[in-house]
Structure 1
């Protein structure tokens, strides 16, 4: 999908303020409301805009321990990766999972009530025989920054 400067500006604005009104968005990009809204709908239907939501400060609502986990698998073939990834995709305690290059295969963010619950989760993974060779646990002691990445749509980066 080719984006022009209006589309880029719409995306930048919506990334920071998903609750902006149609008229304020149109004013901000110097278009009338109808063409502006048609562009938003086009970006939504193309999957560029995946959805809208609120960032919830979970720490104010529930007791939660965040843990970062590095996982290395025993085997490195497609079926081993598929098995691990499909299992992790269904695990609600895993809030983020990234396949990585280098010394580990995956980095996960896990959120549990406490360390005991985290250890029970890891034990269940090991019992499920997901092919984990080793894992390293890093307890999050303080969140320094938690933002979505800024949208960088420089013209030379656009497809």
Structure 2
């Protein structure tokens, strides 16, 4: 649905969103207890924020290493040109690559910031040769292998105090 216009969030809304961002599997009763509401008004607020599009959805967070994806690589990409067609086609091609777990069109020296997860350096080479470098319009790339993840959030955590 997500058609209702979002109204300003109050402190309770922000506390609800913070708790859901940390654990999306909380029941309405558990969530209400954590934010100081009974289950029914808490559920109503959650439904309203879902309808307004403040809450976009819920997802399971998977451990890439346990899926055999031991390498995370950050790639910066510069395109040859910046016309709408090239940008659109490049974005669509990235969306079709299963190795790509994040992709941003950016400002600055590089046009795209991409994060990929692969099984090994050989898997990364295969991704480059068979997927990324086959996308038309790339002028330059630069890659960095992540050594360790220091912080990872699926969503920003709202300040409960507003």
TM-score, normalised via structure 2 length:
0.84
The equivalent residue for 1:138 is 144
* Residues in 2 aligned to 1:107 and 1:127: alpha-carbon distance in whole angstroms: 17
Paired residues of 2:73 and 2:144 also in contact (CA < 8 A): yes
| 2:43 corresponding residue in structure 1 | 37
Q: Which residue, out of 92, 98, 107, partners 2:104? A: 98
Higher RCO (Cα < 8 Å, 6 or more apart): 2
Residue correspondence of structure 1 range 6-155 to structure 2 within 5 A: 6-124=12-130, 125-128=132-135, 130-148=136-154, 149-152=156-159, 155=162
Contact residue 64 and residue 117 of structure 2 kept, 8 A:
no
Distance 1:108 1:36 in 2: 37
Distance in 2 separating the partners of 1:98 and 1:63: 21
The worse-fitting range, judged by mean Cα deviation, of 102-111 and 38-47 is 38-47
Query: By how many angstroms is 1:126 displaced?
Result: 2.4
Query: What's the RMSD between the two structures over aligned residues?
Result: 1.9
Q: How many residues align?
A: 154
Bigger shift: 74-83 or 32-41? 32-41
TM-score (norm 1): 0.85
The worse-fitting range, judged by mean Cα deviation, of 38-47 and 65-74 is 38-47
Structure 1 stretches of 4+ with a deviation exceeding 3 A read: 152-155
Q: How far, CA to CA, are the matches of 2:159 and 2:85 in structure 1?
A: 35
